[in-house]
């Protein structure tokens, strides 16, 4: 169900899903007994697809993302990224990641922060420089390449973090509430930029968020989760169309409000049939 066409000519064999989660359960051992964070999760993210995970606190959406990123291991079930185990995928640098906090290294300039993953993986300096310039351009920070993070606004820091996550042209982006700490106006502009970047790079995105409009605006599918234990309750297709522009006009379109309503009702557990919703 690849909604966006890939243009960057990656070497993906056709038909390999970006992420495949099968029967995944995660329990955390605590002093008061085991806490079930995730239970029987099945989820497939197709190549180039934008999937948002949404749900109340404690529904395990961040945990699911961390499992895909191999920052944690599932108690049961399997996770495959591009057809290989999550650990392999991490070692092969198959994904880029961005967190709620930008997590920039304060002693490095914007350019050096973006270059960090390239540096760690031995990309030659000349190539690194070219790639960093390209990425700074992509996120609109060319004039700020020599600044340090403490000289940037929160939104700009977050854009550096996104540029960094894109440094190695990953075919999968994992984002854990990357815009959660931003004000509403910055947030909307960042969403538009991310939609553009995702379309340009053709990368699949798994995007954790608290915000219903954000999830609807960005994604091809919105995965609604419920807590205690963390489960997928519904998956809603936004179905705005293959080449629908993610811009300001979409935010005011009737279809947009339809999907927002659908996601809201799914979150609150009120079953109202709406076009474009799909029960799974």
Partner 1 sequence: MTTTLEPTRGPAAPARAKPPRAARSRALSAWLWGAVGILLLAIVWELYKFLGPSDGVVIGGVRILPRTTDLAMPHVWDMIGRLLQPVTRAEGSPPLWAAIALAALTTLGIAAVGWLVGLVVGIALALVMQRWRLVEWGLLPWIILSQTVPLIAFAPIVKSWGSRIDIAGVEWQDWMSVALIASYLAFFPIAVGALRGLQSPDRIHTELMHTYAAGYWPTLLRLRFPASVPYLLPALRLGAANAVIGAVVAEVSTGLQGGIGRLLIQFAGQASGDPSKAWAPIFGAIALGLVAAGSVAVLGLLLKDYRRGEAT
User: Which member of 85, 140, 269, 271 binds partner 1 (CB under 8 A)?
Assistant: 140
The Cα 75–Cα 161 span in angstroms is: 30
Pairing of strands 231-237, 277-278: antiparallel
Task: Look up residue 59 and give its two tokens.
Answer: 């529904």
The Cα 174–Cα 169 span in angstroms is: 13
Shortest distance, position 164 Cβ to partner 1, whole Å: 9
Interface segment toward partner 1; rule CB under 8 A; list 114-122, 124-132, 202-210, 234-242: 114-122
The Cα 147–Cα 152 span in angstroms is: 8
Asked whether the beta carbons of 107 and 93 are under 8 A apart, the reply is: no
Size of the site for partner 1 (CB under 8 A): 41
Contacts with partner 1, 41-70, as mask; x by CB under 8 A: ----------------------------xx
If one asks whether residue 74 binds partner 1 (CB under 8 A), the answer comes out as no
Torsion of CA 13, 195, 247, 176, to 10 degrees: 140
169-228 residues near partner 1, rule: CB under 8 A:
181-183, 185-186
If one asks whether residue 153 binds partner 1 (CB under 8 A), the answer comes out as yes
Which residue's CB is nearer to partner 1, number 12 or number 71?
A: 71
In angstroms, the first-to-last Cα distance of the chain is 15
Shortest distance, position 122 Cβ to partner 1, whole Å: 10
If one asks whether residue 133 binds partner 1 (CB under 8 A), the answer comes out as no
If one asks whether residue 73 binds partner 1 (CB under 8 A), the answer comes out as no
User: Which member of 3, 64, 79, 97 binds partner 1 (CB under 8 A)?
Assistant: 97
Which residue's CB is nearer to partner 1, number 74 or number 229?
A: 74
Long-range CB contacts for residues 116-120, cutoff 8 Å, separation at least 24: 116/164, 116/167, 117/93, 117/164, 117/167, 117/168, 118/167, 118/168
If one asks whether residue 90 binds partner 1 (CB under 8 A), the answer comes out as yes
If one asks whether residue 152 binds partner 1 (CB under 8 A), the answer comes out as yes
DSSP string, 184-239: HHHHHHHHHHHHHHHHHHT-EEEEEES-HHHHHHH-SEEEEEETTTTEEEEEEE--
User: Which member of 23, 34, 121, 242 binds partner 1 (CB under 8 A)?
Assistant: 121
If you search the block for the tokens 């949404």, which residue do you land on? 54
240-269 residues near partner 1, rule: CB under 8 A:
none
For residue 116, count other CB atoms closer than 10 A to its CB.
Answer: 14
In the complex, the residues that contact partner 1 under the rule CB under 8 A are: 69-71, 90-91, 93, 95, 97, 99, 101-107, 116-117, 119-121, 140-141, 143-144, 147-157, 181-183, 185-186
């Amino acid at each position: 169900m690849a909604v966006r066409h890939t243009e960057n000519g990656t070497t993906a064999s056709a038909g390999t899903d970006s992420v495949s989660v099968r029967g995944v359960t995660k329990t955390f051992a605590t002093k008061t007994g085991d806490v079930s964070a995730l239970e029987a999760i099945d989820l497939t993210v197709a190549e180039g697809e934008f999937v948002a995970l949404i749900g109340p606190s404690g529904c395990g959406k961040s945990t699911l993302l961390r499992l895909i990123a191999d920052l944690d291991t599932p108690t049961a079930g399997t996770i495959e990224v591009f057809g290989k185990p999550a650990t392999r995928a991490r070692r092969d640098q198959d994904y880029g990641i961005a967190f709620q906090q930008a997590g920039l290294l304060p002693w490095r300039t914007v350019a050096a922060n973006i270059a960090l993953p390239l540096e760690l993986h031995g990309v030659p300096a000349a190539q690194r420089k070219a790639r960093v310039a390209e990425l700074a351009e992509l996120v609109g920070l060319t004039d700020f390449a020599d600044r340090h993070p403490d000289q940037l606004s929160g939104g700009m820091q977050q854009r550096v973090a996104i540029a960094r996550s894109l440094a190695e042209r990953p075919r999968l982006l994992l984002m854990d509430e990357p815009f959660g700490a931003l004000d509403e106006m910055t947030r909307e502009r960042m969403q538009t930029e991310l939609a553009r970047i995702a379309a340009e790079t053709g990368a699949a995105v798994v995007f954790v968020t608290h915000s219903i409009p954000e999830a609807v605006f960005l994604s091809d599918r919105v995965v609604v989760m419920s807590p205690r234990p963390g489960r997928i309750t519904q998956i809603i297709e936004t179905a705005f169309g293959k080449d629908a522009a993610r811009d300001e006009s979409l935010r005011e379109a009737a279809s947009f409000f339809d999907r927002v309503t659908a996601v809201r009702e799914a979150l609150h557990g009120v079953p109202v049939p709406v076009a474009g919703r799909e029960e799974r």
